[in-house]
Amino acid sequence: MSEAAVDAVEAEWIKIAAKQKVFDKNVNDLLAAAIAEVEGAIENLKIDPNSDCEVPSLDTLLPALQKEFKDFHPVLARGGKIIDKHFVSDVAKICRPGFKDEMPTIMAMLVEHFWQSDQEDIARTLSEEANVPLPSEEFREAWTTYHRIRATFDAKDMSMAFEWIEFHRDNLSDDIEQVEFRLRRVLFIDLLRDGETPLDKILRFAQTQLAPFQATHDTDIARLMGCLLYRDNLDGSTHPYSELVADSTWSKALDVFSDMYFEYHDLPSSSPLLTIFEAGLEALPHLYKMATIVENTTKDWDTMEELPVRCVSCLLGIPRLATRMRVHLSFYFACFIFVCPISRDVSTDENPPMALKCGHVICNNCVERLTLHSSRFKCPTCPMEQTAQSTQRVYF
């Protein structure tokens, strides 16, 4: 689907959404009026059981609802027609119907998805009914603990997060100090936002919670203290610390903690279903184009074990996908070779391609050279800092 086609579909569905709001209001008004009359009749019957209570709106309710649905149905149908008009639905040529034994894998993926989504009861039920095992105990415990900690963030309480950090401190990456400071920064800004917090309490928090980071974050601490001058208009955009305040929210704090937590437990931050969906969106146009090119060849697409055309463009979505989703990059692609964009070396088993946190991919030898004198390094093609522990091997 082209960009123009997407714009056309979006414009039509914006109109449909507006008309749906009117439809919902009309239906709700009709139902509310009927309910009110029924409740009034019930009250009258309680007072006088022999009274003749009529509910005239019930006689007209069904015809009125039918009219509303009749008027809205063509509008909704028009939305489906415009999608059919612009959407290329003939994707059968790139499907592989030969794989018919994947249902257990799909069910296992769904179980994992529900557990990761904090729906453990559904995951257990599906596991029993589909006869697939639950994820590993380590996986389950990691996600259960994460959901407990996340719930405390929703309640604006970081105590459980700090307890987890303290317990695992020796095994966490070098980013731990940065994570701790950012969490405490959010707590400090939160105290400033609360107009009832006494100034001496805020200063006491700075002395006990921020001062230990002065050696590495003295500039950041100075800026936080500068926020005291704008306490009455902290969330405004006119003072010089507005960006710092905007970056110090509870949702940002949860993201920072989650990144560290997922890295420690080697967990994907996104559902496997979302990973497949996003990867499919990236690959589908390229695969469809490639299938169109080779459909006149003598080979049968369903029997091919690898891509029949060298189509490197299919792989170009890796950085975008990784950056957007922060997923565990255990991707498997049918490809011939990987050439490191930095060293120009061809990847081997001894020098495999490694995915960085930012999504760029370089060879392992480059990672080793970059971390020769320090555990932290910047991506050669973008300014994002990372560690060797945060890199992950990519399988082609």
Dump pLDDT digits (tens) for 68-93.
999 999 988 888 888 877 776 667 66
Pairing of β 361-363 and β 353-355: antiparallel
Which pair of tokens denotes residue 142?
């990691």
Backbone angles phi, psi at 320, to 5 degrees: -65, -45
pLDDT at res. 297: 62
> Looking at the predicted structure, is the pLDDT value of residue 58 above 70?
yes
Cα separations in angstroms, 117 against 34, 130, 271: 40, 19, 8
| Stretch among 44-48, 279-283, 322-326, 354-358 having the lowest mean pLDDT | 322-326
Q: Please report whether residue 359 resides in a domain.
A: yes
Query: pTM surpassing 0.85?
Result: no
Question: Are 213 and 197 contained in the same domain?
Answer: yes
**Lowest mean pLDDT, pick from 35-39, 270-274, 331-335:** 331-335
Q: Where among 241, 265, 289 does a domain terminate?
A: 265
Give the gyration radius of the chain's Cα atoms: 29
Alpha carbon distance 314, 110 (integer Å):
26
Last residue of a domain, one of 245, 265, 285: 265
In single-letter form, the type of residue at position 384 comes to M
Tell me the angle at which helices 3-47 and 57-86 cross, rounded to the nearest 10 degrees: 170
Q: Is the pLDDT of residue 125 over 90?
A: yes
Q: Evaluate whether residue 384 is within a structural domain.
A: yes
Q: What tens digit of pLDDT does each residue of 186-211 get? A: 898 888 888 778 888 989 989 899 88
Is residue 163 located within the same domain as residue 257? Answer: yes
132 in any annotated domain? no
**Secondary structure class of 355 (helix, strand, coil):** strand
**CATH number of residue 326's parent domain:** 3.30.40.10
* pLDDT band of 165, cuts 50, 70, 90: very high
174 & 285 share domain: no
Q: Quick one: pLDDT band at residue 298, thresholds 50, 70, 90?
A: low
Residue 120 pLDDT: 93
CA distance readout (Å), 18 to 26, 71, 263: 13, 14, 43
Q: Based on the fold, state whether residues 168 and 190 are members of the same structural domain.
A: yes
Between CA 38 and CA 10 the distance in angstroms is: 42
Residues 256 and 291 in one domain: no
Is the domain of 294 the same as that of 250?
A: no
User: What are the φ and ψ backbone dihedral angles of 18, each rounded to 5 degrees?
Assistant: -65, -40
Q: Identify whether residues 45 and 152 lie together within a single domain.
A: no
The band of 332, judged by pLDDT with boundaries at 50, 70 and 90, is very low
State whether 279 and 241 are in the same domain.
Answer: no
Q: Do 302 and 376 sit in the same domain of this protein?
A: yes
- Decide which of 240, 265, 290 is a domain's last residue: 265
| pLDDT computed for residue 321 by the predictor | 55
Amino acid at 102: E
Residue 324 has pLDDT above 60, yes or no: no
Q: Please, which pLDDT band fits residue 100 given cuts at 50, 70 and 90?
A: low
The count of domains in the chain is 3
Q: Do 280 and 253 sit in the same domain of this protein?
A: no
Residue 289 lies in a domain: yes
The answer on 278 and 227 residing in a single domain is no
- pLDDT value for 299: 61
Specify if 101 maps to a domain. Answer: no
* 232 within some domain: yes
Identify the domain containing residue 289 by its residue range: 272-393
Average pLDDT over residues 367-396: 85
For the cut 80, the answer to whether the pLDDT of residue 62 exceeds it is yes
Say if 50 falls within a structural domain: yes
pLDDT tier, 137 (very low <50, low <70, confident <90, very high otherwise)? very high
**pLDDT at residue 182 tops 60:** yes
Calpha distance 189→177 (Å, rounded): 18
Is 133 part of a structural domain of the chain?
A: no
Q: Are 376 and 363 in contact (CB under 8 A)?
A: no
Neighbours of 183 (CB within 10 A): 22
The overall longest dimension of the chain from CA atoms, in Å, is 94
Provide the token pair at 196. 């009832």
Sign of CA dihedral 265, 268, 273, 279: negative
Indicate if 303 and 224 belong to the same structural domain.
no
Token code pair at residue 285? 């146009």
